[in-house]
Amino acid sequence: MIKPDAVEANNTGKIIDMIIDAGFSIKAMKLTHLTKGEAETFYAVHKERPFYGELVDYMTSGPIVAAILEKSNAVEDFRKLIGATDPAEAAEGTIRKQFAESKAKNAVHGSDSDENAEIESNFHFSEREIVG
Ligand code: ADP
Ligand code: MG
C-alpha cells in the first residue's frame, strides 16, 4: 500500500516508479479509501499495541493505493526497497527514507511474509482484478 500521507503529498507516481525500477511487476492496483472496519481488520495483528488506534485513524485519514506486486524474492526485496519502519533508521535510497514523515506516517506498507502477502492480496482484490 501507498499510505495516506504519501498519496496526499502527491508522491504516488514517484513511489510507483521506484517500485518498477526495482524490478517488480504490478499484478493489480487501485486507489481506495479504507473504512475504519477495514483498517482494523487489516492491522488486527497490532490490536494490542499502544499505537493501534492512531494507526487505524491514520490509515483511514485519506485514500491509499493498494497493489499486488510480483518478483522473485518479492517480500524480502520489497522490505529492502521500503526501508526501516522509522524513516530516521531507513537506509539511503529507500522509499521511506525519501518519503516517510515519521515512524507512524511512513509512506508505504509491505507484507512481511509470503503467507501474509497472500492474505493481504485477497483482502484488497478479488481474483478477477488480478492480472495473469
Ligand atoms: P512495518 O510497516 O515496517 O512492517 P510494523 O508492522 O511494526 O511496521 O507496524 C505497522 C505500522 O504501524 C507501521 O508501518 C507504522 O505505520 C505504524 N507504527 C509502527 N510502530 C509505531 C509507533 N511506535 N508509533 C506509531 N505508529 C507506529
Ligand atoms: Mg508490519
User: 21 exposed, middle or buried (CB, 10 Å; 0-12, 13-18, 19+)?
Assistant: exposed
Cβ-based neighbours of 116, under 8 Å, separated by 6 or more: none
Q: From first to last of its 132 residues, what are the pLDDT tens digits of the chain?
A: 999 999 999 999 999 999 999 999 999 999 999 999 999 999 999 999 999 999 999 999 999 999 999 999 999 999 999 999 999 999 999 999 999 999 999 999 999 999 999 999 999 999 999 998
Residue 132: predicted pLDDT: 86
In angstroms, the CA 8 to CA 55 distance is 16
pTM: 0.98
Strand-pair partners of 64: 32
Q: What residues make up the domain containing 70?
A: 4-129
CA of 21 to the centre of ligand 2 (A): 23
Residue 113: predicted pLDDT: 98
CATH code for position 44: 3.30.70.141
Give the total number of structural domains in the chain.
1
Residue nearest to atom 9 of ligand 1 (CA): 85
φ, ψ for residue 30, nearest 5 deg: -160, 150
Pocket of ligand 1 (CB under 6 A): 46, 51, 54-55, 85, 103-104, 106, 109, 112
